[in-house]
Amino acid sequence: MTTGAARAERMPVAQQAQALNWLRRIPLHAAVVAICAVWLLPALGLLISSLRPASLVATTGWWTALSPPLRFTLDNYQQVLTSNNMGQSFVNSLLITIPATVMPLLVAAYAAYAFAWMRFPGRDWLFLAVVGLLVVPLQMTLIPVLRLMTALGLTGTFPAVWLAHSGYGLPFAIYLLRNFFVSLPSEMLESAQIDGAGHWTAFFRLVLPTSVPAVASLAIFQFMWVWNDLLVALVYLGGQPSVAPMTVTIGNLVNSLGQGWQLLTAAAFISMLLPLAFFVALRRYFVQGILAGSVKG
């Protein structure tokens, strides 16, 4: 408790501290701004190129567009947005991505919980095997899985891609979530068990709500990976206009000789808007779920 007099004494010190603090923070801000600038530069080049006519893009650097004569054009964007099937493929992308993002979440959470909080023989080796599956190259799975799917009659259907993306995303999802679950304090679960609650309660009422940051980051990545996937959709679903996702339609803006690549600049921006918006929307969930109590490393 400070008295008024003591508070008055502290004022100039506080102001000094504030000024010092501001000075000390300059390097911090400088670092952040510098990093952002470096990261932004390549994408900025893409953005400016997407607003220039095709003939200029190939012959002059994009920074020359910033000085007069300013020759910007929305041609590229217009061509991409009105190109064949863009609307339908946007919807298709949504129909592929959203279920493929939601489906693996709970499946991975169950498995991660089992690996983190249950004891059973072979647990660690099995978990390592799951982590090891991270390295299985996608291309090696295409033919065997396609054979299986054809035998089951699933080829060309959306559930086929949903299941495939769920399967492919599981190793990383389980790895990430298990790491997070393990860092939760054991006192929390022990006290729940003393109260007579079983694993069901522990999972749905304790672990899952506090794991929101990890689940949110998982959702972001799975969304981005599925949204930008091309090969899985082409092989399991097909590339016909009625089912093609945006990646296929965008890929077809360029002909086999590579002509039309300037359209890719505009298409890249159009395509990245949704995943970025998704990230911004989910980012606030990172702040929630902060635990009271210590965290194990």
Partner 1 sequence: MPRNRRLLTYIRMLMVLATGVALAACGQKAGGGAAPAPSGGRLGGTVSVLASWGGNEQDSFLAMVKPFEDQTGVKVQYEGTRDLNAVLTSRVQGGNPPDLAGLPGPGQMSVFARGGKMVDLGAVLDSSAMRQQYSDTWLQLAQVDGKQVGIFIKAAVKGLIWYNPQQFAKVSGGSPPKSFDDLMSLSNKIAASGTAPWCLGLESAATSGWPGTDWLSDIVLRQSGPDVYDQWYQGKIKWSSPEIKKAWQTWGQIAADPKMVYGGKQSTLSTNFGTAGDPMFASPPKCYLYDQGNFISDFFVKDNPGLKPVDGFNFFLFPDIESKYPGSTQVAGDLFGMFRDTPQSRALIKYLTTPEAQAIWVKRGGALSPNKQLPPSAYPDQIAGQEAQLLTSAKTARFSAGDLMPQAMTDAFYKAVLDYVQNPGSLDTILANLDKVQADAYRR
Partner 2 sequence: MTDRVTLALIAVFGVPLLLIAYITASEWLLGLLRIRRHDAIRPWLWLGPALALLALFLVYPALNTAYISLLNAGSQHFVGLANYRFVFTDATMLLALRNNAIWLVLFTALVVVFGLATAVLTDRVRYGSLAQALILLPMAVSFVAAGVIWRFMYDFRPAGAAQTGAVNAVLTALLPGFTPQAWLINQPGNTVALILAAVWSWTGFAMVVLYAGLKSIPHEVLEAARVDGAGEWRILARVIVPLLRSTILVVATVMIVTALKAFDIVYVMTNGNYGTEVIANRMYKEMFSVQDFGRASSIAVILLLAIIPVMLFNLGRFRSQGSN
Name residues contacting partner 2, limited to 241-260 (CB under 8 A): 247, 250-251
Cis peptide before 144 (omega within 30 of 0): no
Of 88, 201, 217, 228, the one binding partner 1 by CB under 8 A: 201
- List C-alpha distances in Å: 274 to 41, 78, 195, 209, 250: 21, 18, 44, 26, 15
Locate 256 and state its tokens. Answer: 């086999």
Q: How far is the CB of 293 from partner 1 (least distance, A)?
A: 25
- Using CB under 8 A as the binding rule, the residues of this chain from 25 to 64 that contact partner 2 are 28-29, 31-32, 35-36, 39-43, 45-46, 49, 58-64
Give the C-alpha separation, 25 to 21, whole Å.
Answer: 6
CA 112, 116, 122, 125 torsion-angle sign: positive
- Using CB under 8 A as the binding rule, the residues of this chain from 217 to 246 that contact partner 2 are 217, 220-221, 224, 227-228, 230
The interface partner of residue 163, options being partner 2, partner 1, none and the CB cut-off 5 to 8 Å by kind, is: partner 2
The contact mask relative to partner 1 for 255-284 (x = CB under 8 A, - = no) is: xxxxxx--x---------------------
CA 50, 55, 59, 65 torsion-angle sign: negative
Give the interface size with partner 1 as a residue count (CB under 8 A): 41
CA 37, 39, 45, 47 torsion-angle sign: negative
Backbone angles phi, psi at 238, to 5 degrees: 105, 160
Q: How far is the CB of 158 from partner 2 (least distance, A)?
A: 6
- Using CB under 8 A as the binding rule, the residues of this chain from 88 to 127 that contact partner 2 are 95, 98-99, 102-108, 110-111, 113-120, 123-124, 126-127
